[in-house]
Amino acid sequence: MVEKGDFAQEFYWRMREAVTGRLSRDAKRIAEKAAKKNSRPFDRGRDPIKAGSGVDDLMKSFRWENQLAEAQLFNAWAEIVGEANAAATQPETLVNGTLTIRCKSTAWATQMRLLQHQILEKIRQAHPGVEITTLKLLGPDAPSWKKGPRSVPGRGPRDTYG
């Protein structure tokens, strides 16, 4: 049996939808509430699933596979390049197939450039899901000479770092 208040409210939302051509937030909320009210525990689509497949579905729906593969690569960096190289280098970003690696000094960046092809091959073997085409090896950051929000444009100090 439909109560008077429910009928009037339903009539109002349907007329408003017909005039404007879209549902309001309140009408959507009421429709969702009505749909949930009719849901039963053993209805179609309410079957239990295994936790592993649920996590896999979440990974796919939010497109987290690439981020997870990137995190696994960054965590296994010492295994890929060795302990000594890992102590002097750190992967920073992976964008469009380019892995950016920050080195402690320009000497380490040069050393890593010499090993670049071997490192790429090890990455491809250990993490086939991660697509890396090039390595971008960076030396240490130089200190900034800008002090405060206002600075004078110009060439600045002529000393080099690295």
Is 154 a domain residue? no
Number of domains in the chain: 2
Q: Which of 111-149 are b and which e, b meaning 16 or more Cβ less than 10 Å from the residue's Cβ?
A: bbeeeeeebeeebeeebeebebeebebebeeeeeeeeee
| Residue 73 maps to a domain | yes
Q: Which domain holds residue 69?
A: 65-138
Angle at which helices 51-61 and 65-75 pack, to 10 degrees? Answer: 100
pTM check: above 0.85? no
Position 10 scores a pLDDT of 77
Same domain, 70 and 134: yes
- The reply to whether 17 falls in a domain is yes
11 lies in some domain: yes
If pLDDT is split at 50, 70 and 90, which confidence band does 1 have?
Answer: very low
